[in-house]
Amino acid sequence: MSSEQLQVAKTNIILLIQKCIDTIDLQFSIRMTNALYTLSGLFQSLFLKTTEIKMNPNIFLTDFEIKVEKIQHLLNLCQSILGGDSPGHLKDLCLKILLLLTTGLDNINENRFIEFIMGSCLFENLIQLLCDPSTRQKHGYNVVLLITLLVNYRKYDTTNPYIVKLSILDNELALNGYGQVITASLSEFVFGFSCEQSDNQNASWLSSITNIVGNMFISEEGTVRIQQMRANNALILALYEAIHLNRNFITTLAQTQTDSSSPPSPCNTLSVSQQRIDMSISNIPFDVTSQPSNLLVTFFTYCSIVMQNTKTESGSNTVKLCFIILGCITEDQYANSLMHDVSLTFKVHLYRLPMRHRKFLAETTTSSQPLVCTLLDLLIEFILSHMMKKFPMELYILCVNVIQRILCYQKRCKTRINFHWRELWTALLSLLRFIVQNENYLAKKMNIFHLSLSVVNILNFFITYGDTFLPTPGSYDELYYEIIRMHQVFDNVHSMGLRYTTNDGEFKNDALKLNNSLINVRGIIKHFNPKIEKWLSVNGLSTPTEQQILDIVKKNYDSLTLKLQDSLEQYERYCEKPKHEIFFNQMVESIVKDTRCNINISYASDANQ
């Protein structure tokens, strides 16, 4: 249908919409159902068509044709159905109508229909649906999705009542229900990925070749994995909004969830060939209630999967959102205390990216340990697995920032955890070495000194404050051993900095800061290397063992002089605006488009309700 044909049909479309609203008001169940189905189909078709022909549906529907009172009356009817004891299929249809109205335009901030929703008391009805186990099971996903979209309406230029209401929500049942919706959806994604990995390992060589050839004709953005990640972006954004806005939600992160009515999520694959996907029915036969679940545990496992896909823009955006969430969590005092609590230990599945230089191990299960240890394992894996030509600089900076926040908490609270810190130091040193080795290529595209400075300052933090949070004195010795062992890396970093400080290029000041931060590291190397060489000469040896170097380090601490460095504990607290404003606008627009295209309006979708 062309725009001209749509204009010709406008009068009949408007009349049909008005008749549907009048029929809903009659309160006859069967007629209400038919009217809601008709209205849903009309709205969906209309919004898809107006988007296709670049027509504003706001103008089409409200340009003196449908009175404001009529739209407001429709919302009041939906609110009444959602808040009453109406059958589940009517509530489901009302939620879908609200989602259709909310996603009518790509740019949610230009959607005039949302103004009507903002003026209603709908939030309380949505929260009540989350509180009740049976309604949460049926409608939880759509409820959380709708709240998330409404929270993002004009959030930067006006007072959004949904932001206010979500930020002060203290209903424990509602917050737990909100978290269970997210946990259930992510759990199904993880389960689906696990099944896929198992199938791939058991597949024949012929099917493997077939898959490889098939993928050659699909863009990276169109692969199943990326489509699955996009399908969960709405729930990840919902998690972000809850953590960012509501401190009460933090208490639900580490709670074991055993509710027998955890809600289903939508199908986690937005297949290119699928025309409609019901946003409230999952195709994955996974019972998330069969074993206790935990939101943070599930989220860490989810992160380990999506962090394997950073080569596409949408994949990188998903990972960025995950890192922002991790940053918010590690800035929160109470969340940190939960993750460091030795009485709250979990075994967590973390998936690893296949790499040529290490033995393939698709999945590792951590020992039962505090959640902060699992988080550090996750961050180490990201550092080691993304040193590539298409270097994700922004993601690395976010990753290192999370590490800094963890260390600041441990130093501030003098908290010692039994963690293999040496793996973190090795990962950071490997990252520095990669940056130096690829300086010529990377420096043309990005500021490599900012990340290098952040990495060196993490090591400086251990040097300066390690005695307050490292588990044993031996850990401090191992830190010095790693610095001495990798002295060539620091020499190369210093030389790189010198090259940029001797000219007036754009990175001169950053390079100067980097070299200044190396003063203690280079001091350690200059202090211990002569003593090691002297010991080797006296004992007639050419290559010392690790234990011999550790013994030399222990005996020569007293004569080592280090400079106290400032600002190692300071970091800029997270603020969404203005730094991430564009990112979130783009993320919301992507979710709006996916939601609008994949709401299933059919009798079949409600057959089991």
If asked whether residues 601 and 569 sit together in one domain, one would say no
If asked whether residues 486 and 558 sit together in one domain, one would say yes
- The SS3 assignment for 272 reads coil
Within a domain: 145: yes
What domain range is 39 assigned to?
A: 3-168+588-606
| Angstrom distance (rounded) from CA 225 to CA 189 | 10
- Residue type at position 354: P
Q: CB of 481 within 8 A of CB of 553? A: yes
| Angstrom distance (rounded) from CA 175 to CA 137 | 15
Q: Helices 519-539 and 448-469: crossing angle, nearest 10°?
A: 70
Q: CB of 127 within 8 A of CB of 171? A: yes
Q: CB of 580 within 8 A of CB of 324? A: yes
Greater model confidence, 268 or 407: 407
If asked whether residues 466 and 596 sit together in one domain, one would say no
Neighbours of 46 (CB within 10 A): 20
| Angstrom distance (rounded) from CA 36 to CA 40 | 6
If asked whether residues 18 and 106 sit together in one domain, one would say yes
Q: CB of 91 within 8 A of CB of 82? A: yes
What pLDDT score does 210 carry?
Answer: 55
Q: CB of 181 within 8 A of CB of 136? A: yes
Categorize the per-residue pLDDT at 63 as very low, low, confident or very high, splitting at 50, 70 and 90. low
What is the count of structural domains for the chain?
A: 2
What pLDDT score does 530 carry?
Answer: 94
What pLDDT score does 60 carry?
Answer: 63
Assign residue 48 the CATH number of its domain. Answer: 1.25.10
What pLDDT score does 273 carry?
Answer: 37
Where is average pLDDT lowest: 222-226, 367-371, 492-496?
A: 222-226
| Angstrom distance (rounded) from CA 34 to CA 90 | 10
Cβ partners under 8 Å of residue 572, min gap 6: none
What pLDDT score does 567 carry?
Answer: 87
If asked whether residues 551 and 592 sit together in one domain, one would say no
| Angstrom distance (rounded) from CA 327 to CA 325 | 5
Interval 85-107: pLDDT, tens: 899 999 999 999 999 999 988 99
Say what percent of the chain tops pLDDT 70: 83
Within a domain: 53: yes
If asked whether residues 158 and 11 sit together in one domain, one would say yes
If asked whether residues 598 and 562 sit together in one domain, one would say no
Mean pLDDT of the chain: 86
**Residue in the block written with tokens 């070495």:** 433
If asked whether residues 107 and 33 sit together in one domain, one would say yes
Categorize the per-residue pLDDT at 254 as very low, low, confident or very high, splitting at 50, 70 and 90. confident
Interval 135-149: pLDDT, tens: 999 999 999 999 999
Q: Is the pLDDT of residue 608 over 70?
A: no
Interval 376-418: pLDDT, tens: 999 999 999 999 999 999 999 999 999 999 999 999 999 999 9
* Averaged pLDDT for residues 25-45: 88
What pLDDT score does 317 carry?
Answer: 96
Within a domain: 104: yes
Where is average pLDDT lowest: 286-295, 413-422, 478-487?
A: 286-295
Q: Is the pLDDT of residue 474 over 90?
A: yes
Within a domain: 49: yes
If asked whether residues 31 and 160 sit together in one domain, one would say yes
Neighbours of 94 (CB within 10 A): 27
Q: Is the pLDDT of residue 362 over 60?
A: no
Q: Is the pLDDT of residue 290 over 50?
A: no
Within a domain: 531: yes
If asked whether residues 11 and 145 sit together in one domain, one would say yes
Within a domain: 567: yes
Q: Is the pLDDT of residue 56 over 90?
A: no
What pLDDT score does 5 carry?
Answer: 74
CA 128, 133, 139, 145 dihedral sign is positive
Within a domain: 558: yes
**Residue in the block written with tokens 């606008």:** 585
Within a domain: 223: no
If asked whether residues 470 and 592 sit together in one domain, one would say no
For 271: left if phi > 0, alpha if psi spans -120 to 50, otherwise beta; the answer is beta
Long-range contacts of 577-583 (CB under 8 A, 24+ apart): 577/156, 580/324, 581/156, 583/317, 583/320
Interval 413-435: pLDDT, tens: 999 999 999 999 999 999 999 99
* Averaged pLDDT for residues 6-35: 85
Phi, psi dihedral angles at 424 (to 5 degrees): -65, -45
The pTM of the full predicted model, rounded to 2 decimals, is 0.89
Where is average pLDDT lowest: 265-269, 382-386, 575-579?
A: 265-269
What pLDDT score does 477 carry?
Answer: 95
If asked whether residues 14 and 151 sit together in one domain, one would say yes
- The SS3 assignment for 257 reads strand
- Residue type at position 375: L
* Averaged pLDDT for residues 514-535: 95
